[in-house]
Amino acid sequence: MRKILLSSIVWLVLGIPYSVQAEGSLLFYNAGSGEGATARLDSAGNYEFVGGISGFATRWTHITGTAGGGVLFYNASTGLGATAQLDNAGNYSFVSEIPGFAPGWTHIAGR
């Protein structure tokens, strides 16, 4: 997985063959506003917007994709976490909130 920080938007490129099965799906997130969006990027580099997502919590400090298309959100200040799913078509589904992580983690890696 590759993370690209651009202003306050986090792009998660979930198309690396060895890391995520949600091949070509992208998640955009604005930590200040809590806005999000999904898109697809095919192997030829063609971009397709899928849809906007409202209702994200603000200030997630870490967002990590997993091998099965799962997404883990973490706030290092509060220890709050959440999970979601991003499928191959770029559709986003919230799964659950996870309270009780220790605050202060500086890195989270997924495979």
Within-domain flag for 105:
no
pTM score, whole prediction: 0.75
Within-domain flag for 69:
yes
User: Is the pLDDT assigned to residue 16 strictly greater than 70?
Assistant: no
pLDDT at position 98 is 95
Do residues 23 and 17 lie in contact, with contact meaning Cβ atoms separated by under 8 Å?
A: yes
Within-domain flag for 31:
yes
Do residues 85 and 65 lie in contact, with contact meaning Cβ atoms separated by under 8 Å?
A: no
Total number of domains constituting the chain = 1
Average pLDDT over residues 58-84: 90
Within-domain flag for 65:
yes
Within-domain flag for 29:
yes
Within-domain flag for 56:
yes
pLDDT at position 69 is 86
Q: Which residue has the higher pLDDT, 13 or 107?
A: 107
Within-domain flag for 50:
yes
pLDDT at position 82 is 95
Within-domain flag for 110:
no
